[in-house]
Amino acid sequence: MSTIRDRLLQHTNDYGFDVGAALSTVVFPLPSLSVVVPYHESSDTLPLVLSHLAASIASTLEQEPTWKHEIIVVDDGSRIHPASSIISAFKRLSSRLVLLPNNCGRTAARNAGLFQAIYDVCLFLDADVLIDNELIRNVLTLFGTCRRGTDIVPIVPAFFATSSTLPWDTPPLTPNDVVVNDFRVFCTYRSEWIGCEDDSQYIGTTYRLLAETNMFRFWRGKIGPWWLPNMVLGGCFAVDTAASLGARGFDTRFGSYGFTETSLPTKLIALFDHKVVPLIRGGALHVSLAGDASDRVRKDALFRRNHAIFNHEYLNTPCSAVLDSDPSQ
C-alpha cells in the first residue's frame, strides 16, 4: 500500500512546456478565478493588498472584459480591526466576506474560503502580500496552457521580494518592480532553517533550485531538505478549485505557523498527479514587519513541530487513507 512519501518519490513533474514561452502568448478565454484572502487583524497591510489585487484584476479585465472572478476575504475572528471596515472602501471589487467566530488559524481560514469558492482556479493570497499588475493574468495563462491539449493540472506558486516597511506610496507593481530574492531561486542553506538535526548536513550548501531542476520540470523526490510541495509556499499560489475541494482542502494540523501551505499541494501531487508549474515572470512583494524576539522563538518552535509532523506522520500516511484520516473535517 503506497504512502504519500512513496508517491512523492515516484512523481514526475515534467509538465511538458517552456514556462517563459507560455507566458509570452495569452490565449483567451482565461479560466475563472476565486481569490481567497485569509485575514486576522492585519489592518496595516490589507488595504495595500486589496489595492494591488484590484490593479491586477483591472489589468486582466482590460484584456478580457467578460472574465469571471470573485474575492473572498475570510476574517479569522478579528476583534480589534474587523475586515468589514476595510473592504467596504473597495466597492468596485467583486468581494464577499466570510466571518469566523473565533481565531482558528490561517489554515482553517483558507479552508473556509476554499469551501465557498465557485470558480475554476483558486488563488490563495495572504493579507500581507502585494501582487504585480500582471500576476493574475500570468497565473491563469499557465492554467490555460495546461488545459489546451493536455491532461495536466498545475499548481502555480509565485516568487517573492520582501519589504520590511509599508510601501504606502507604491503605485501598482509591474513584473519588473518585483526584484525576487526568494530562496527557491537562489540560497545558501542557513543554520536557522533547520527543522530537524538531519538538516544540519545542508548548512552552507548553495542551491539554485529553479535552474537546477529546469523550472521544477526535472524535480525528483527530495532535493537537499526539500520535497516538491515545499516549493509551494509564501502566501501566493493557485490551485484547481474542484480538485482541491475533492482533496478536502488543507490539513489543520498545520494551522498556526510552518507548513501551512504544504498539505494541500502534497495531496494534489500524491493523489492526483498535479504538476508544480512556477510563475517565473514578476511575482509578489511580501511585507514582513518586524516582530519581537519572543515571537521569533515561538515561530521557530512551531516550525520544528510541524516539520516533524509533516515528515514523520503526514508523509507516511497511506494514500488510500489520506482523506479519511485528514483532521481538517
Phi, psi angle pair for 196, to nearest 5°:
-155, 170
Sign of CA dihedral 225, 273, 208, 234: negative
**Does 328 fall in a domain?**
no
Residues near 95 by beta carbon (within 8 Å), at least 6 away in sequence: 70, 71, 72, 73, 87
- Residue 159's nearest CA partner among 188, 127, 138, 184 is 184
- Please tell me the predicted confidence (pLDDT) of residue 297: 86
**Does 162 fall in a domain?**
yes
- Residue 96's nearest CA partner among 132, 69, 62 is 69
**Does 137 fall in a domain?**
yes
CA distances, 8 to each of 157, 275, 319 (Å): 18, 11, 11
If one counts the domains in the chain, the total is 1
Torsion angle of the four alpha carbons 20, 223, 228, 2, in this order, in degrees rounded to the nearest 10: 140
The Cα 42–Cα 75 span in angstroms is 10
Range of the domain at 231: 4-323
Give mean pLDDT, residues 155-169: 86
pLDDT surpassing 70 at residue 25:
yes
pTM, rounded to two decimals: 0.95
For the stretch 187-198, what's the b/e string if a residue is b when 16 or more beta carbons lie within 10 angstroms of its beta carbon? bebeeeebbeee
DSSP secondary structure letter of residue 261: T
**Does 25 fall in a domain?**
yes
- pLDDT above 70 as % of the chain: 96
Mean pLDDT of the chain: 92
Tens digits of residue pLDDT in 188-208: 999 989 999 999 999 999 999
**Does 329 fall in a domain?**
no
Residues near 264 by beta carbon (within 8 Å), at least 6 away in sequence: 239, 244, 247, 249, 250, 251
CA distances, 175 to each of 78, 172, 178, 271, 310 (Å): 32, 10, 6, 33, 33
- Residue 44's nearest CA partner among 73, 83, 71, 75 is 83
Please state, as a whole number, how many other Cβ atoms lie within 10 Å of the Cβ of residue 47. Answer: 16
- Please tell me the predicted confidence (pLDDT) of residue 92: 84
Instruction: Name the grid cell of 233.
Output: 509556499
- Residue 205's nearest CA partner among 224, 218, 220 is 224
CATH number of the domain that residue 206 is part of: 3.90.550.10
pLDDT surpassing 60 at residue 144:
yes
- Please tell me the predicted confidence (pLDDT) of residue 53: 96
- Please tell me the predicted confidence (pLDDT) of residue 328: 45
Tens digits of residue pLDDT in 125-134: 999 999 999 9
Please state, as a whole number, how many other Cβ atoms lie within 10 Å of the Cβ of residue 255. Answer: 22
**Does 62 fall in a domain?**
yes
Q: Please, what is the end-to-end C-alpha distance for the chain in angstroms?
A: 24
Tell me, what amino acid is at 290?
A: A
- Please tell me the predicted confidence (pLDDT) of residue 293: 58
pLDDT surpassing 90 at residue 290:
no
DSSP secondary structure letter of residue 291: -
